[in-house]
Chains A and B, each alone.
Chain A
Amino acid sequence: MLEKKSKKGSVIALVCILVILGGVILLENVSMFMENVPEVLRPTSQLFTVLKKGAVYSLVAVSMNLLNGFTGLFSLGQAGFMLLGAYTYAILTVPMASKDQVYYLFGGSAVKFSLPDLFAGVLGAEGVGGAVSMVLGVLIAMILAGLVAAFFAWLIGMPVLRLKSDYLAIATLGFAEILRAIFQWQRLGPITNGANMIKNFPTFSSFNIENSAGETVLRLSTFVPFLVAALCIAIIVLLINSSYGRAFKAIREDEIAAEAMGINLSKHKQLSFCISSFFAGVGGALFAMYSANAQAKGFNSTLTYEILLIVVIGGIGSISGSVIATFAYVACSEWWLRFLDTPTTFQSESSRTMFIAALAVAGIAITALLLLRARKKKGGTGMMAAACIPAVVFVGYDIYYAMSGAMEVPFLRTGFRMVVFSVIIMIVVLFFRNGLMGTREISDLFKPKAKKEAAK
């Protein structure tokens, strides 16, 4: 009975993934065969940037979730493993023709081959042969990127995985910083290009199919990251549902009990760490393709924190939560909240009045919410008084602003987007600790409630 049901579930999941992938291709190519599509569907639209970056980040977020959410190992080394993946991919795929130019400070690269070129040597560089050799080269470089990251994870995992929670976090964070310094070292320039970025390697847009006249006939630049991310996430999901996944979860819940049940702790921790790093490495390679360059500078702790916050927003221990949170996060930061960075003036008195009203409502709503909480937790008068602060501040400012008669929208200028963003994150962390999904998956939402209770 159970088996049958899970089979049905996986079929549904498979169909969903295929529908999404098909939808992406369609979305991307709508502008090809339809005139006058809305602005948002043009290939230059921010929508596709968001989709590409979202696909890349969701893979990294899920890989981090495998470690933090499912195995309970709190690692902050994700940026380091992404760096390894990105550099491995970039070093192996820079075409021979542009090596001298990319490594211009070091008189060419020490890596005297390029994977796509190697295949092109066999299959031919033109037409279908060229395309196949590019795809093969990219694919193998991507797998190698994952393997290199996994290998380093194995190396570093041997000593540090014995550490517990926050010590592990700080050790992996330190490891990522060490990697960054090494990759920027000028002495390693012939391989890593030192401080300079590696570029000119195949990116997502290299997958757009062009006809002989050089016109794009089929866009695949958004589809490719979706395909890779979907494939990798599917593998992670399968792994989580296997006996290994159950062992990981057992370790998360109670290490001592897990060990008593015969689970080899160090082996399973090591395995989870390596697998997570493998996919972080692949994610790093995708990230390099997304940004069309690889440079160690960007793979800093801020990147790790960003991924961590995505995982938290989505719910630690929920794969679908991570994916949804990634797209929401990327869309907000890259697209929807951008207007917060641009100073604007109100066009009419009515929109200004509306803004003032909205601000007052927001302030009072926050206070109402806090009061509700305070009453639930039976907080004292101090807590009640503290809950009134937001309303006082908001309404006070509101009155001041209304009196001032200024027509500029207050606060809007460079940097405000990130402030709003971090406030939202703090609200999620403090008030919705389980994130969007908690430990549930999206499929759980469709199950009848009674059965879920019974399953528990």
Chain B
Amino acid sequence: MKKIIALLLVLCMSFALLAGCGGSTESAAPESSAPESSAPESSAPEAGDKVVKIGVFEPATGDSASGGKKEMLGMQYANSITPTVEVGGETYTVELVYADNGSTTDKAPSAASQLVGENVAIVLGSYGSGVSIAGGPIFDDAGLPALGVTCTNPNVTAGNDYYFRICFLDNFQADVLANFAMDKFDAQVAYCLGENGNEYDQGLIAFFEQVFTAAGGTVIKDSFPQNNSDFSTYLNKAKSEGADVIFTPVSIAYATQILSQAASLGIEAPFLGSDTLDDNMVLEAIKGTDIELYVSTFYQEGGDPDFDAGIKEYINSSADILAANGGNDTISAVTAMGYDAYYVALEAMKLAGSVEPADIKAAMWDVTYTGVSGDIAFEEVNGDAIRDTAFIKTANTADGTWTLETVQTGSGQ
């Protein structure tokens, strides 16, 4: 008897809770489901009651959360400047719909199908190639175009009609970095360290090896298991095997650990990093140390002063946004890329003259747009961006900023 009473009580309680929360969500107008970081939602102009949803497929938790949040900032900033879009003579209010892919390939498919279920017109993201590849087939099945922002692995778009991207590819990036290592440091031996089972890390290392060995260098490869935290053994190994450069294309969480451990070990060889390392958490980790770090990336602060000023003001406008950007207003390249991606998506809608996913996808191929990170157009096989330059930045460890080292084009392979 008591059990039944208890059960009833629990049921009442949970219903009361659900009614409380559920009631409020149901009554919420579409644009009120604001992201955590744009708390002071500038109430979107009531221009027309038509709404077009853009899906944001980004990691808000997990290893890549830091990068995902910065990429979202770019989109949110763009959305705050341009909250409406004129398509086929009608004004639509753009609503960003978020799905957290948790930085892991096993959560990505369900996050992707959540976006499909929300009937978004186009998807932006994700930061991190693995999750994009995992979510890709879901978008493909649903006939929903997806626009990769900084997912650089070739397999994101290959074999997927609906995935496009605005960034360069890993084989290009690895080529740039390998050549840079050869030219700048005369490197003969490169030590490459990546996470075991991570598609992004291992892909970049494989491409780097191809270019580097073709140019006469030697590559030593190593992988660490997932959730590893002791990197000193690997770094000592790199030292004892006489590495001239250390290439670590790993996610931010690992990069900070590797670099701070290298700093206390006193590793002298310069570090090369891929686009993931362009993050102020990495800068924070090596501030005040003697680590030499070079990363290849999409955008360098100063590339577009108007954008820089605007985004800095936006970042400083609320404590939440500042926290999402890692506590200071250093502009990450991924933020600029997220900003550009938003406008490319709007451009595609305008060109399609419709907000139907199928029409947008068809129009995508012909979109050209000049963003803050450069000109964006799509090649016609896989829908990859046509890009031939990468910025190489070096970390200024004295004051924790990035300095532009060089703008490099690929060796044309």
A/B touching: CB–CB < 8 A:
yes
Residues on A facing B (Cβ under 8 Å): 39, 44-46, 49, 53, 98, 101-102, 104-105, 180-181, 184-186, 194-197, 199-200, 203, 205, 290-293, 295-298, 300, 303, 334, 338-348, 351-352, 354-355, 357-359, 361-362, 365-366, 368-369, 372-373, 376, 408-409, 412-415, 427, 431
Residues of chain A contacted by B27 (CB below 8 angstroms): 347-348, 351
Q: Is B114 interfacial (CB-CB < 8 Å)? A: yes
The segment from B151-159, B242-250, B271-279 found at the interface with A is B151-159
Other-chain residue from B20, B60, B198, B225 in contact with A414 (beta carbon distance below 8 A)? B60
Complex alpha-carbon distance, A293 and B155, angstroms: 12
**Given A358-B20, A366-B13, is A344 in contact with B25 using a C-beta cutoff of 8 Å?**
yes
CB-CB under 8 A for A199 and B20, given A184-B197, A293-B105, A342-B33: no
Chain B residue numbers with a CB within 8 Å of A98 are 159
Interface on chain B toward A: helix, strand, loop, or mixed SS? helix
Nearest chain A CB to B148 CB, angstrom units: 16
Given contacts A186-B223, A354-B20, A369-B10, contact A414 B137 (CB under 8 A): no
B16 A295 Cβ-Cβ under 8 A: no
A181 to B158, CA, bound (A): 27
Q: Is B306 on the interface with A (CB-CB < 8 A)? A: no
Measured between C-beta atoms, what is the minimum distance from B72 to chain A in Å? 11
CA of A290 to CA of B155 in the docked complex: distance in angstroms? Answer: 19
Q: Could you say which of B9, B33, B35, B104 contacts A368, with CB atoms under 8 Å apart? A: B9
A53–B110 alpha-carbon span in the complex (Å): 9
B201 touches A298 (CB 8 A): no
**Complex formed: what's the CA distance from A53 to B111 in Å?**
13
Q: How far, in whole Å, are A180 and B197 apart by their CA atoms in the complex? A: 9
Which of B61, B117, B134, B202 is in CB contact (< 8 Å) with A49?
B117
Note all chain B residues with C-beta closer than 8 A to A194: 202
| CB atoms of A351 and B23 under 8 A apart | yes
Contact of B100 with A341 in the complex, beta carbons under 8 Å = yes
* In the bound complex, CA of A366 to CA of B61 (Å): 31
The interface residues of chain B lying within 8 Å CB-to-CB of A105 are: 202-203, 206
Please tell me if B141 contacts chain A, counting CB pairs below 8 Å: yes
Provide the bound-state CA to CA distance between A414 and B39, in Å. Answer: 14
Known pairs A362-B13, A365-B12, A366-B13; A44 contacts B24 (CB<8 A): no
Determine the chain B residues whose CB is within 8 A of the CB of A293 once the complex forms: 105, 109, 133-134, 137
Q: Which B residues touch A300, using CB under 8 A?
A: 226
Contacts of B105 in A (CB 8 A): 197, 293, 295, 297-298
Q: Are A351 and B225 in contact (CB under 8 A)?
A: no
Question: Complex Cα distance A368/B32, Å?
Answer: 36
Tell me whether B13 and A292 are in contact (CB under 8 A).
no
- Give the chain A neighbours of B10 by CB distance below 8 A: 365, 369, 427
The one of B13, B61, B138 that contacts A361, using a Cβ cutoff of 8 Å:
B13
| A49 and B113 contact, CB distance less than 8 A | yes
Closest residue of chain A to B357 (Cβ to Cβ) is A44
Which of B2, B36, B39, B104 touches A372 (beta carbons < 8 Å)?
B2
Contact across chains for B134 and A197 when beta carbons are under 8 A apart: yes
Find A195's partner among B2, B5, B36, B201 (CB 8 Å cutoff). B201
Report chain A residues within 8 Å CB of B199.
195-197, 295
Q: Is B155 a contact partner of A104 (Cβ separation < 8 A)?
A: yes
B22 at the interface (CB under 8 A from A): yes
Q: Are B155 and A292 in contact (CB under 8 A)?
A: no
Q: What is the minimal beta-carbon distance from A404 to any residue of chain B, in angstroms?
A: 15
Contact with A along B84-111 (1 / 0, CB 8 A): 0000000000000010100011100110
Q: Known contacts being A297-B104, A344-B33, is A415 close to B61, with CB within 8 Å?
A: yes
A164 to chain B, nearest CB (A): 29
Q: How far is the CB of A117 from chain B (nearest CB, A)?
A: 16
B34 an interface residue at 8 Å Cβ cutoff?
Answer: yes
- Give the chain B neighbours of A196 by CB distance below 8 A: 155, 199, 202-203
| B192 CB, min distance to chain A CBs, angstroms | 11
Query: Which of A186, A203, A296 makes the CB contact (< 8 A) with B202?
Result: A186
Q: Do B6 and A369 touch across chains, with their CB atoms under 8 A apart?
A: yes
7 new A-B contacts at CB < 8 Å, known A45-B117, A293-B133: A101-B155, A105-B206, A291-B106, A295-B106, A297-B106, A344-B28, A359-B17
Q: Report whether B196 and A181 are in contact in the complex, using a CB–CB cutoff of 8 Å.
A: yes
Using an 8 Å CB-CB cutoff, how does the interface string of B196-220 with A read, 1 for contact, 0 for none?
Answer: 1111011100100000000000000
A191 to B199: give the CA distance in the assembly, Å: 16
The 3 closest A-B pairs by CB, nearest first: A298-B106, A358-B20, A292-B137
Q: Are A340 and B133 in contact (CB under 8 A)?
A: no
Q: Is the CB of A195 within 8 A of B20?
A: no
Sampled A-B contacts (19; CB under 8 Å): A44-B116, A98-B159, A101-B159, A184-B196, A195-B195, A196-B199, A196-B203, A197-B199, A290-B109, A292-B137, A297-B226, A334-B110, A339-B21, A354-B23, A358-B19, A362-B16, A365-B16, A373-B6, A412-B21
